Amino acid sequence: MLVIHCPYCGPRPEPEFAHGGQAHIARPHDPANTTDEELLQFLYLRENPRGLFRERWRHARGCGRFFNAIRDTNTDFFVTTYKVGERPALPGGAQ
Amino acid sequence: MKARTTAGGRVDRSKKVRFTFDGRAYEGLAGDTLASALLANGVHLTGRSFKYHRPRGIVGSGSEEPNALITVIRDEARKTPNLRATQIEIYDGLIAESQNRWPSLEFDLGAINSLFSPMLPAGFYNKTFMWPRSWWYKVYEPNIRAAAGLGKAPSLPDPDRYAQQFAHCEVLVVGAGPAGLAAALSAANSGARVVLCDEQAEMGGSLLSERNANIDGLSAADWVARTLETLRANPRVRLLARTTAFGYFPHNNIGLVERITDHLESLPAHAPRERLWQVRATEVVLATGGIERPLIFPGNDRPGVLLASAARTYANRYGVRVGERVAVLAGCDAAFEAAVDLSAAGSTIAIIADARPVGSVDGPGFAAAKSAGLRILPSATALAVSGKLRVTGVQLGIVGQDGKVVVGETIACDTIVTSGGFTPSVHLHSQSRGKLAYDDQLGAFVPAATAERTRSAGFSRGVSGLTAALNDGATAGADAAVASGHACTALQFSAQALDVGLAGSPGALPQLAGPIPPAKAFVDFQNDVTTRDLALAQREGFQSIEHIKRYTTTGMATDQGKTSGLNALGIVADASNRRLADVGLTTYRMPYTPVTFGVFAGPARGDQFDPVRRTPSHDWAVARGGVFEDVGNWKRTRYFPVGNEDMHAAVDRECLGVRNSVGMFDASTLGKIEVVGKDAAEFLNRFYVNNWSNLGVNRSRYGILCRDDGFVYDDGVIVRLAEDRFHVTTTTGGAARVFNMMEDYIQTEWRDLSVWITSTSEQWSVVAVQGPKARDVLAKLVTDIDLSAAALPHMGVARGHIAGIPTILMRVSFTGELGFEVNVPAEYGADLWEAIYAAGQEFNITPYGTEAMHVLRAEKGYIIVGQDTDGTLTPDDAGVAWAIGKTKHDFVGKRGMDRAALKAAGRKQLVGLLTEDPKVVLEEGAQVVLAPNQSIPFEMVGHVTSSYYSANLGRSIAMAVVAGGRSKMDQTIYVAMPGGDIPVKVVSTVFYDPQGARLNV
Ligand SMILES: [Zn+2]
């Protein structure tokens, strides 16, 4: 059972949260004018890295908010969690 | 108790305890384990082995015991199998039984397997039962099942209660031996919150087996007592004895099982049997000590062959001599210390046969054995053991300088104790994803880099010697306290003890070279894996230790190879000419020792297994014999039988009752979400496929929700209560996921919108009143609402009172009849139900359940999302494209359903099916084919989604998704069934009142 730091509530146990898949998959601003390729990217293609991964969580049985996290999929340790609209750099400075 | 010493040990010699083993009465002392009490009575034979049914005796003294697996019987329902005799605390009246034998332990028919042992080598199961395939289910598998397995699970429900508790602490110390106690003392001094747990009944670990050691001027026993007193007096320290740390989970979450009542003679009325602790520790100290390895030689599994440290524990801690004439086989200095202590307890030491070469052994153990006058034979090996149910002697060999073995003397003895060195217990460190490194000096793996905030201390990281172990523990405890934010300096200890070395060389003892292979030498006692099995695996090409483990099953029994793992690695390394460090390790998995199902289930059983949601009409339905079905967590009434009606008759009557007069239905389980804010309409425009801007206040509309991929996700009626307020209904099962999806888009995609959503599913009770007389029933109950068709047309909404209860009254219909859904605050739901039922009496109102609801809606072709759709249907596929707001530039799913593949011809479309024989009701889920009598594999073009007998139509009806279905109207296609293909005609999904005349009245 992980401990997850909700950016609004602080550290809480994993059962309070729902995982939401890869983060920063933005819905196209004008879906009508997206190509099939862009739509494919938006709907279906997801990373599954071994290592640092930006992912979404929802504090579903808490404040209800969606937020993002950087988690190392090797170790299950979180680098950080952050609010919607933010995008902290990865360790080492990469965006 | 012929093998009991005259004094000493930690048993209470004034308190006799009576128990039975395999029906025979024995006497032990308070403080005995079943193992020590049996040994005190001269009983070594405690079980039969798993594969060959060989007689087996007690080997160890703690949780590492591989052989002595016992069933303890308290009553019919309380029969606990596979307990280790070394961990069972005896109480007056204890009933214990051996396992894996028939008819008796001394004479076991299963031992015939031993005669066939050449046919039972490694991989036997994989090789033998391949052919013929059909024999597997009928012959091999049932016979293997009958013959295999250890103890029997009880057949009655578990009558005991199991508790579960979360705990937080700054420092968790696992293991209360010298290092663990010193760590806890140091950490507790700093003010940190400390939890100290130990799997044994008494804390103290190896200190409880010491005879002469002292610490800071106190005997080991007195130091333990004083230390526990200090810790107990500290309110920030929690001591948990009889508590096994069985699993190390991420983020320093450690699972402990505390055994609370198993050791008690009578069960207290309200105590749980066990308690699961889920500890979240800031820092962890692992002081789990180590486990002695047996030496491996032919016949090493005979009853009477024990670990040297176990024999020493029986002598010093329990006052029990494991034998009168003992041969000691030494691969480690600990054997010397055991020999000295056994001798002091009154046993004769026949010989100390040391496997190590002449002149290579020195040190305090050797010196102590010498000065005790014990005979030490260097460069020795054991070639054979005599005796069947108990050791009677050992044939020694001598290893020459060239490595060749010659036959040596034969030693008569009733017991053999062996020490192959000690293995640090790195299980929890390894479970926490810590790395291991091979220590050549020690001959074992020790912890290297950690992954969690944890540290190992004492012998669990290879530190031996009492003073060193104490101070290593103290340093680790202080380090953990500092890391958790407390100022702390490590305590310092000074101890006097024999401090023998614990190093050894994993592997098997050398044997005679020659054409006749020696008798079996066992590596894994519990799974009956021998040196030959490991060699065979090598010869057959298995290289990876993970493969060898699975092929030979070594380390895969309930003890997970605690005593055998490293020896198996040593043998594999020797056989493949690799360094042991290069062979690698198999993964350590939780649980450290077996854990009961009960403690994991905890209170989640029976009524508390899962929450139950009840509708407002629940009690009313129960009182009238309603039959329920589970829909998610909801209990919904499926039908209301009258008299002796079966479901078919009841549903027919209910369906006819609705269409002929009026029916009532509890629709409270529908999901409800209130959407509020100045952008509420805009939000719904973007979210649902429909147009909402033009929906007037107090009007409602059927809405379809898609995902962005264009597939139908949910549906429901949406009411506009005010310009900026909508009452959204969802499917019963979809409420939570629709709410989650709304939150997702509001919080992350459309942050420009001013809109809030609230789940109101639990706030509203809903009774659907449906049928030509629905208006007449409600007219008797409302005073301030005009129910006329002009004032309240189909999809109209009114607010006022019904039976004096404030209501939102919606004119909606899921039956195709004139219908209303009466919404009232949830707490009035039962009253409303009763009021409508009473008012409906003069119209013969029919309460109906979910089954009739399904039939009625299917007669009208109304879909159920999730039944008639499956996540691959667009609104057009499902025949509800009319709901789409054509003028909208965007909504969720618009672009997705615009993809070529989702508009292509030949997609599966929802259609109606009519069987040629009106009495045949199709199977839901059955496959649809275009031509009959195809050969396998035939081409499937769809499947039946809904199928019922319709009493109103006097025939069966069905809906199905069929490729290009709407272009096949009036054509005959087939539903494939085992009994033959059933011809069906493709028709519209609307079977009843296609003009909708009954709706608009
Ligand atoms: Zn939160």
Contact A1 B278 (CB under 8 A): yes
Helix%, strand%, coil% for chain B, nearest 5: 25, 30, 45
Contact A84 B894 (CB under 8 A): no
Note whether residue A34 is domain-resident: no
To test the contact with chain A by mutation, choose from B895, B897, B898, B903 the residue with the greatest count of A C-beta atoms within 10 A, namely B895
| Chain A residues near any Cβ of chain B (below 8 Å) | 1-3, 13, 18, 20, 26-28, 30-32, 34, 36, 39, 42-43, 58, 60, 64-66, 75-77, 84-85
Q: How far is the CA of B744 from the centre of ligand 1 (A)?
A: 14
Contact A31 B890 (CB under 8 A): yes
- Judging by DSSP bridges, how do beta strands B237-240 and B194-197 pair with one another? parallel
Alpha helix ranges (H) inside B358-397: 364-371
Note whether residue A53 is domain-resident: yes
Domain count, chain A: 1
- Phi, psi torsion values for B271, nearest 5 degrees: -85, 140
pLDDT given at position B502: 96
Interchain contact B78–A (C-beta under 8 A): no
Neighbours of B445 (CB within 10 A): 23
pLDDT given at position B725: 98
Contact B748 A64 (CB under 8 A): no
pLDDT given at position B514: 79
Query: B748 contacts in A (CB within 8 Å)?
Result: 66, 84
pLDDT given at position B938: 87
Q: CA of B254 to nearest chain A CA: how many angstroms apart?
A: 9
* Among the listed residues B523, B517, B583, the one whose alpha carbon sits nearest the alpha carbon of residue B553: B523
B378 CB-side CA count, 13 A: 12
Contact B895 A85 (CB under 8 A): no
* Among the listed residues A45, A39, A54, the one whose alpha carbon sits nearest the alpha carbon of residue A86: A54
For B12, the token pair is 């209470």
Note whether residue A65 is domain-resident: yes
Residues 6+ apart with CB under 8 A from B886: none
Contact B749 A26 (CB under 8 A): yes
- Phi, psi torsion values for B202, nearest 5 degrees: -115, 140
Instruction: Tally the residues of chain B.
Output: 1001
pLDDT given at position A26: 94
Query: How many pairs of residues across A and B have Cβ atoms under 8 Å apart?
Result: 57
pLDDT given at position A54: 97
Nearest residue in A to B282, CA atom = A3
| Extended strands (E) in B791-844 | 797-802, 805-810, 819-825
When pLDDT is cut at 50, 70 and 90, the band that residue A20 belongs to is very high
Residue the block writes with tokens 């939780």: B590
Instruction: Please tell me which of the candidates A3, A30, A84 has its beta carbon nearest to residue B251.
Output: A3
Interchain contact B888–A (C-beta under 8 A): no
B417 neighbors B328 (Cβ within 8 angstroms):
yes
pLDDT given at position A46: 97
When pLDDT is cut at 50, 70 and 90, the band that residue A76 belongs to is very high
Interchain contact B278–A (C-beta under 8 A): yes
Q: How far is the CA of B163 from the centre of ligand 1 (A)?
A: 28
Q: CA of B556 to nearest chain A CA: how many angstroms apart?
A: 26
**Residue B944: which H helix or E strand, with range?**
strand B942-950
Q: How far is the CA of A5 from the centre of ligand 1 (A)?
A: 8
ipTM field: 0.97
pLDDT given at position B101: 75
pLDDT given at position B974: 97
Nearest residue in A to B749, CA atom = A27
Note whether residue A78 is domain-resident: yes
* Among the listed residues B460, B445, B442, B562, the one whose alpha carbon sits nearest the alpha carbon of residue B502: B442
Contact A32 B251 (CB under 8 A): no
To test the contact with chain A by mutation, choose from B249, B251, B713 the residue with the greatest count of A C-beta atoms within 10 A, namely B251
B125 neighbors B140 (Cβ within 8 angstroms):
no
Q: How far is the CA of B675 from the centre of ligand 1 (A)?
A: 22
Interchain contact B435–A (C-beta under 8 A): no
Angle, helices B466-483 vs B178-189, to 10°: value is 40
- Judging by DSSP bridges, how do beta strands B454-456 and B348-354 pair with one another? unpaired
Q: How far is the CA of A19 from the centre of ligand 1 (A)?
A: 13
**Rounded Cα–Cα distance for residues B913 and A38 (Å):** 40
Coil, strand or helix: which one is B583? Answer: helix
Read off the CATH number of the domain in which A73 is found: 3.30.2270.10
- Which one-letter DSSP state was computed for residue B103? B
Note whether residue A31 is domain-resident: no
Note whether residue A77 is domain-resident: yes
Note whether residue A71 is domain-resident: yes
- Put the strands of the sheet holding B69-75 in their side by side order: B24-30, B12-21, B94-98, B69-75, B78-84
Q: CA of B249 to nearest chain A CA: how many angstroms apart?
A: 7
Nearest residue in A to B255, CA atom = A1
Query: A30 contacts in B (CB within 8 Å)?
Result: 890
Contact A32 B895 (CB under 8 A): yes
| Low-confidence residues of chain B: pLDDT under 70 | 1, 112-121, 123-149
**Rounded Cα–Cα distance for residues B39 and B46 (Å):** 10
B783 CB-side CA count, 13 A: 5
**Rounded Cα–Cα distance for residues A33 and A16 (Å):** 38
Interchain contact B751–A (C-beta under 8 A): yes
pLDDT given at position B137: 59
pLDDT given at position B877: 98
Instruction: Please tell me which of the candidates A27, A65, A75 has its beta carbon nearest to residue B749.
Output: A27
Contact B895 A34 (CB under 8 A): yes
B650 neighbors B639 (Cβ within 8 angstroms):
yes
pLDDT given at position B515: 74
Coil, strand or helix: which one is B663? Answer: strand
Q: CA of A48 to nearest chain B CA: how many angstroms apart?
A: 20
Query: B894 contacts in A (CB within 8 Å)?
Result: 31-32
Q: How far is the CA of A13 from the centre of ligand 1 (A)?
A: 11
Instruction: Please tell me whether the overall predicted TM-score, pTM, comes out greater than 0.80 for this model.
Output: yes
Nearest residue in B to A34, CA atom = B895
Q: CA of B742 to nearest chain A CA: how many angstroms apart?
A: 12
Residues 6+ apart with CB under 8 A from B24: none
Residues 6+ apart with CB under 8 A from B300: B294, B382, B385, B418, B521, B522
Amino acid at B456: S
Nearest residue in B to A41, CA atom = B709
- Phi, psi torsion values for B914, nearest 5 degrees: -120, 125
Angle, helices B545-552 vs B565-575, to 10°: value is 110
Spell out the domains of chain B, with CATH numbers in brackets.
12-114 (3.10.20.440), 163-290+424-496 (3.50.50.60), 294-420 (3.50.50.60), 613-669+763-848 (3.30.1360.120), 671-759 (3.30.70.1400), 904-987 (2.40.30.110)
Please, what sign has the CA dihedral across residues A21, A22, A23, A25? Answer: negative
Note whether residue A30 is domain-resident: no
Domain interval for residue A14: 3-20+41-93
To test the contact with chain B by mutation, choose from A14, A17, A39 the residue with the greatest count of B C-beta atoms within 10 A, namely A39
Q: What dihedral angle (degrees, nearest 10) is formed by the CA atoms of B845, B849, B855, B856?
A: 40
Contact A64 B743 (CB under 8 A): yes
